[in-house]
Structure formats: structure tokens, C-alpha cells
Amino acid sequence: MSDNATAARRSAIYLLDQILGEGRLLSECLAAGALDRLAPEDRARAQRLTLETLRGLERADRLLENHLNRTPALTVHNALRLGAVELCHGEAAHGVVNSMVDIVGRSRKHGRLKGLVNAVLRKVAAEGPEAWPKMRVPRLPEWLRDPLVMAWGEDAIAGMEKAQFAGAPLDLTVKPGASGPGEVLPTGSTRLHDAGQVTALPGYGKGDWWVQDAAAAIPVRILAPKPGEKILDLCAAPGGKTLQLAAAGADVTALDVSETRLARVHENLKRTGLKTTVVAGDALEHQGQYDAILLDAPCSATGTIRRHPDLPFGKDGSEFGELIELQARMLAHAWSLLKPGGRLVYCTCSLLPDEGEVQVEEALDQHPDMSVDRAALNIAGIESEWITEEGGLRLRPDYWADLGGMDGFYIARLNKSA
């Protein structure tokens, strides 16, 4: 049994405790230093184990419930869940079982249950690998699944759940004139299915590319920035779209309310050698006049679950109403910052129409000088059935199923009359 493997598993169980017990998001845990003591490879393994367990949680619980008279304490339950997922993914039973027994056995609170862990996981090792692929694809929680089924239908949601269960490959946006590893996607991003450590990939140190889901790279392509244009990137962190705008030669102001999140923007700008003006501030208070604006508004992030399977467990939908109101206010304020004849791209990484299609429909009613630019969607890789009735673009995780899917996004380009 490897001490490093046990350390990664122990950290993964801690993360699962925080996500499933405290309702925290994985990003919050990582920002708080949950894995800082681990070596880079063990840190990556702990994150991978956490994500795999969250994706397979429904299947793991169904396997475990056959061997548990009652649900154990959360930490022990999460050790069993993690062990079950590893066993069903083909990890050697000896190493997984011994590691989980060791982790639980060293706990002052739960050490007496190490025998239970040993017995249950040995049973899972015997039957789980055969049963696992026959079980249904794990479903989204009802609070999220119900409104999505209402919006897109049962078949579409089943396709999205399949994409989310499969996880996400690594997508890159490559600087103009540079090259990056991976296959080129229809929209121009590149994709790697087994990327390994990102910092070890060719071109990382030279700043030739940055990590950005293919769907997230489309809003800037629709905005079509031109050299020298004065462009505002509202809610800019973590900065992928900022880098795209800067690489196009625009005069970019990247604004975000979080100085902590802006640190990532500064890091990527330094690595890629790109220049922008970075401002920490409230989007609703910012002033100025711009040729073009990109508003990637705060949202439910329901379109990113294939990459962030912790989201359904860290949220419960109670914030939807507040977010929808904030998006409307941000869009109205951003419109006031746009010069006559200018253009604005509104986007959210959400699957909920209230955060996308409905926002644009209501904005069009409120602003007589606003029109939707359907022609702007005529870019490489965009399929006609993705274009919505009001003239926006609806992207979903079940699209590109044969290529590995994409994040869910809504995007619309809005032109201001001269």
C-alpha cells in the first residue's frame, strides 16, 4: 500500500465530507488550501478521486446499501463510496481495501468501524465491477432535473446526464500564430482526452495556450474583437475570455469583483505575455464608454456540471431568483456603457432558459435601441439547430456527444443602434 495513495484518498474523503456534509463547492475547498500539503501528483489524484466519486455517487450508494443495515457516519460512508468507485473502475482490491481500512482505523471517532469497511468493500470488490456498467446513468437531483426536463425534455436531459457522467476532456484555446497539443474541434479549440498534468504539456511554459472549454471560447468569437477596439470584459475571472480579447489586439479592461479570482487572471496574462487593464470592482458601479462589451454574467453554472460534479451537491436552487435579478441589472447597466453603434455579447454558463433566452427577450422589450445580431452566429462549427427563436445560441452538454460533449452555455450578440 502506497503512503502517497493513502494520503490522496484521505484528502479526497475530506473533500467529500465538505461537499456532501457542509454544502461547500470544491473550488472553495481548494482555495482554502485543502490540498496544499500534498505533492502536485497527489493533489491531482485527490481531485480526480473526488470528482469520480461524485459522478458515480448514485451507483456507489446502490451497491453499498445491499451490505449496510444502516447508513454509517458521513466520513465512513464517504470512505466506502470512494472505495466502491475505485474498485468498480478497476483498481486492485488489495490496495483499495487496505488503504480505506487504514484511513478509517486511524480515526479516533470511527476507528471501531474498520472491520465494517473491510467486510463491505471486499463484498463490493467481488460483485461491483460486473454490476457497475449495468446500472443506470446517475441522475441529477430533482431540484435541478425537474426544471431542465421542463425546458428541454426527458431525452435531452438523459443525454446531458450521460455526458456529465462521462466527465470532460481538456480543452485549450491557442494563441494566434502558436500551436497546441490535441485534436482541433469544429469551432477551433483543441481537445485532449487524456491530458495528464497540464503544466507538463508542450507550450504551457511558453504561454502558447490556456485551458478553456470549447463552449466558453465561443462568446469572444461571436463578439469578433478588432485590434485597437476599446472592449470591457465584465465578470472577467478566471480570464479565458480576457486572454482571447487581448490576443486579438483589443484594448481590454478586465473587471471582476473578486481580487482573489483576479489573481488567476494576472497569472495567465504573465504566462502568455498578453496585456490588459485589470480592475477589481463592482460591475454595477463601473463607468466608461466602450466599443464592445462581453458580459459573462454570474449564474447557476448548471452548464458546467460535467466538469464540476460538486455543483448539484453544493447548491439547491434557492439562489436562482436572486441570480436572475442580478443578471437583468448587469445587462441593463452594461448597455448604458456601450457606445452607439457598439455591440455586446451576453452569455451565461447555464442550462436554465430564465438565465439566457428569457433575459434577452425581456431586454429587447426594455431597450428600443437593442437588436439581436443573428448573422454574428455564422462562425465555424456552429450548427443551425443550436440557434434559438430570439436569435441567441444555445449550447448543451449532449451536443458533440461523439467528440466528448461541451459545457452548457447561452450566448447572444446584441447590437446598439447608431
What pLDDT, on the 0 to 100 scale, is given for residue 262? 94
Confidence band, pLDDT 50/70/90 cuts, at residue 2: low
Q: What is the pTM of this model?
A: 0.93
Domain regions of the chain by residue span: 3-134, 170-416
The model's pLDDT over 343-376, given as tens digits with 9 standing for 90+, comes to 999 999 999 999 999 999 999 999 999 999 999 9
Confidence band, pLDDT 50/70/90 cuts, at residue 342: very high
Classify strands 183-184 and 170-174 as parallel, antiparallel or unpaired: unpaired
What pLDDT, on the 0 to 100 scale, is given for residue 1? 45
The model's pLDDT over 140-199, given as tens digits with 9 standing for 90+, comes to 999 999 999 999 999 999 999 999 999 999 999 999 999 999 999 999 999 999 888 888
What pLDDT, on the 0 to 100 scale, is given for residue 317? 87
* CA proximity to 19, closest of 50, 44, 60, 58: 50
Query: 77 pLDDT exceeds 50?
Result: yes
Length, in residues, of the chain: 418
End-to-end Cα distance, the chain: 69
What pLDDT, on the 0 to 100 scale, is given for residue 178? 94
Answer whether 356's CB lies under 8 Å from 349's CB: no
The model's pLDDT over 313-332, given as tens digits with 9 standing for 90+, comes to 988 889 999 999 999 999 99
Q: What type of residue is 341?
A: G
Answer whether 234's CB lies under 8 Å from 210's CB: no
3-134 and 170-416 in the same fold: no
Query: 76 pLDDT exceeds 90?
Result: yes
Question: What is the percent of the chain with per-residue pLDDT over 90, rounded to a whole number?
Answer: 94
The model's pLDDT over 257-295, given as tens digits with 9 standing for 90+, comes to 999 889 999 999 999 999 999 999 999 999 999 999 999
Question: Per the residue annotation, which of 29, 235, 347, 349 is the catalytic one?
Answer: 349
Q: Is the dihedral of CA 367, 368, 370, 375 positive or negative?
A: positive
Report the C-alpha gap between 76 and 256 in whole angstroms.
40
For the stretch 185-191, contacts whose Cβ atoms lie closer than 8 Å and that sit 24 or more positions apart, written own/partner, are 185/214, 185/381, 185/400, 185/403, 186/380, 186/381, 187/214, 187/217, 187/218, 187/221, 187/379, 187/380, 187/381, 187/382, 188/217, 188/221, 188/380, 188/381, 189/213, 189/214, 189/217, 191/403, 191/404
Query: 59 pLDDT exceeds 80?
Result: yes
What pLDDT, on the 0 to 100 scale, is given for residue 308? 95
User: pLDDT averaged over the chain?
Assistant: 95
Q: Across residues 103-118, what is the average pLDDT?
A: 94
Answer whether 326's CB lies under 8 Å from 350's CB: no
235 is catalytic: no
Q: Across residues 120-127, what is the average pLDDT?
A: 97
Report the C-alpha gap between 51 and 48 in whole angstroms.
5
252 class by beta-carbon count within 10 Å (0-12 exposed, 13-18 middle, 19+ buried)? buried
Q: What type of residue is 119?
A: A
Query: 74 pLDDT exceeds 50?
Result: yes
- What homologous superfamily is domain 170-416 in, according to CATH? Vaccinia Virus protein VP39 (3.40.50.150)
**According to the CATH classification, is domain 3-134 in 1.10.940.10?**
yes
**To 5 degrees, how large is the angle CA 28–CA 48–CA 105?**
90
* CA proximity to 308, closest of 388, 238, 260: 238
